[in-house]
Structure 1
Amino acid sequence: MSDFAGQTVLITGAGAGIGQAAALRFAALHARVAVNSFTERHAEETVRRIRNAGGIAMSAAGDVSDEKSAERIVSEVCRAFGSVDVLVNNAGIVLPGTVETLDPAAWDRTMAVNVRSVYLMSRLVLPHMRERGGVIVNVASSVAHRGVVDRAAYTASKGAILALTRAMAADLMRSGIRVNSVSPGTTDTPSLAERLQAFDDPEDARRRFIGRQPMGRLGTAEEVAAAIVFLAARDAAFITGADLAVDGGMTC
């Protein structure tokens, strides 16, 4: 396993779930980790867990879909840690609805958080990466590879991430900067637990979610985090413009 000593990793949406698991894994591999979350309290919790384990971390809370906020976040991280070597664009929201039922505000918010944030954060860190190279890992979703009922905006946003990943990889091919994505399937995270609470019988809904999985279980945040770390590592030095499915065979 590669060591990230001397490198700074900035992870958006790292207050819980996949982002938090990635933050903990990078820190265990000696990276300096900048933890972003929309909510300061959640970012600080991840920072606390990293520091308690002997790692180096800072909170970089804020709205990564807002240009001024994103600029502040990157500026604070670079001031504290010197630069950004790895960016993990993980921030995302899921708002249910079809093209007919989803109101325009919900559509716009989904695109802002899930896609605009990737554009803004990548645009802001790239000048810092051009001197010595870097890696960007975007978190897409298995829904980008198949149709999913009642998830029009979310599916479209994750499809956009796949396309943007390939475009960025092509643009940066000779700059020493690699860009890849991961596409998680249904993953056992606090976000999923929150969505299940919207059902009349959350436990039954969970069983049905599990029943649809080809491997008969949900993925874990740690499994997705392992894929993110691999794509950021030197072991993946000849991989760019790729998408790694971490979905238990859902898109076979």
Structure 2
Amino acid sequence: MSASAPVVLVTGAARRIGAAIARRLHADGYAVALHCHRSRDDADALAAELDARRSGSTRVLQGDLADAAAVPTLVESTVAHFGRLDALVNNAAAFAPTAFQDTDAAAFDALMATNARAPFLLAQAAAPHLRAARGAIVSIGDLYAERPRADLVAYAASKAALLGLTRGLAVALAPEVRVNAVSPGAILWPEDGANAAQQSRILEATPLARLGSAEEIADAVAWLLRGGFTTGEVLRLDGGRSL
């Protein structure tokens, strides 16, 4: 792997949207640090797939983003292995639908820790390296950050915090580092299933009348990483559902 290749750290990279982002950025020439939490086998398989295309171009990093002390080590390990860091993609998220009255402090804190605090701590650790590279951060938000549901109050608040963090970091890290977010609508049905009625309601509320794809999110991330005059923006990819 060339030492001049740009390096990206992608959290939650083992599966679904995160894996699509990792594949796209790898195809664009990045070396990719693949973070995972529980999906180590999937992360290792993805690393093997990408390394078969370009030897030595990945590194798998496992860690719990809710563990504040462990978060900065993801950046440290990436830089120790590749010698640089050019981009950070905050994709990993905790998701826990819970009725408002049933959400206790521990559940609220767990969502905030992974969805908002971890990206903040990663940005702190990554900032010197990203400044040196004149790099970029892209975070994956959610439609529900701006259009919350009754059973997603805490989750929506954590994603709204992430969008606020995006704008704050865009100011704090300028002019060397650009910081943006992608706010997806319905992209993939949950793995535990969404019944036909739920799917129908979601598609009826989406003017483009279809799901988005993980690859469309990855395309948006790739564009934001190279969009040199864009910072502090939230790019909505929701098929018009936020209208």
TM over 0.5: yes
Q: CA deviation at 1:215?
A: 1.3
Q: CA deviation at 1:170?
A: 0.9
Let me know the Cα RMSD of the aligned residues. Answer: 1.7
| Alignment match, 1:217 | 210
Counterpart Cα distance in 2 of 1:226 and 1:159: 23
| Alignment match, 2:133 | 132
Q: CA deviation at 1:99?
A: 2.5
Residue aligned with 2:37, SS: coil
Residue aligned with 2:221, SS: helix
Alignment match of 1:230 (pick from 220, 223, 226) = 223
Q: In structure 1, what residue type is equivalent to 2:181?
A: S
| Alignment match, 2:169 | 168
> Is structure 2 residue 243 aligned with structure 1 residue 244?
no
Counterpart Cα distance in 2 of 1:184 and 1:237: 22
Q: In structure 2, what residue type is equivalent to 1:43?
A: A
**Pairs aligned (count):** 238
Counterpart Cα distance in 1 of 2:117 and 2:193: 23
Contact conserved, 2:90 with 2:119, CA < 8 A, in 1? yes
The answer to which of 77-86 and 62-71 deviates more is: 62-71
Counterpart Cα distance in 2 of 1:223 and 1:120: 27
Q: Deviations over 1:110-158 (max 9, x none)?
A: 1111111111111111121222311001111111121323101111011
Q: CA deviation at 1:204?
A: 4.3
- TM-score where L is the length of structure 1: 0.89
Q: CA deviation at 1:30?
A: 1.1
| Alignment match, 1:199 | none
Contact conserved, 1:141 with 1:185, CA < 8 A, in 2? yes
* Equivalent residues in 2 for 1:194-205, closer than 5 Å: 194=192, 196=194, 202-205=195-198
Question: For the structure 1 residues 239 and 131, does the alpha-carbon distance in structure 2 shift closer, same or farther, using more than 3 Å as the test?
Answer: same
Q: CA deviation at 1:229?
A: 0.7
| Alignment match, 2:191 | 193
Counterpart Cα distance in 2 of 1:72 and 1:239: 29
Q: In structure 1, what residue type is equivalent to 2:218?
A: A
Residue aligned with 2:191, SS: helix
Contact conserved, 2:11 with 2:34, CA < 8 A, in 1? yes
Q: Deviations over 1:135-188 (max 9, x none)?
A: 0011111111213231011110111111111111111222x1000111010111
Q: Identify unmatched segments of 5+ residues in structure 1.
A: 197-201
Residue aligned with 1:193, SS: coil
- TM-score where L is the length of structure 2: 0.92
Contact conserved, 2:100 with 2:150, CA < 8 A, in 1? no
Counterpart Cα distance in 2 of 1:102 and 1:250: 27
* Equivalent residues in 2 for 1:105-116, closer than 5 Å: 105-116=106-117
Counterpart Cα distance in 2 of 1:210 and 1:53: 37
Q: Identify unmatched segments of 5+ residues in structure 2.
A: none
Counterpart Cα distance in 2 of 1:113 and 1:247: 23
Percent of aligned positions that are identical: 34
Residue aligned with 1:183, SS: strand
Contact conserved, 1:64 with 1:121, CA < 8 A, in 2? no
Q: In structure 2, what residue type is equivalent to 1:220?
A: S
Counterpart Cα distance in 2 of 1:44 and 1:251: 36
Q: CA deviation at 1:43?
A: 1.9
| Alignment match, 2:76 | 75
> Is structure 2 residue 24 aligned with structure 1 residue 25?
yes
Question: For the structure 1 residues 53 and 188, does the alpha-carbon distance in structure 2 shift closer, same or farther, using more than 3 Å as the test?
Answer: farther
| Alignment match, 1:38 | 37
> Is structure 2 residue 52 aligned with structure 1 residue 52?
yes
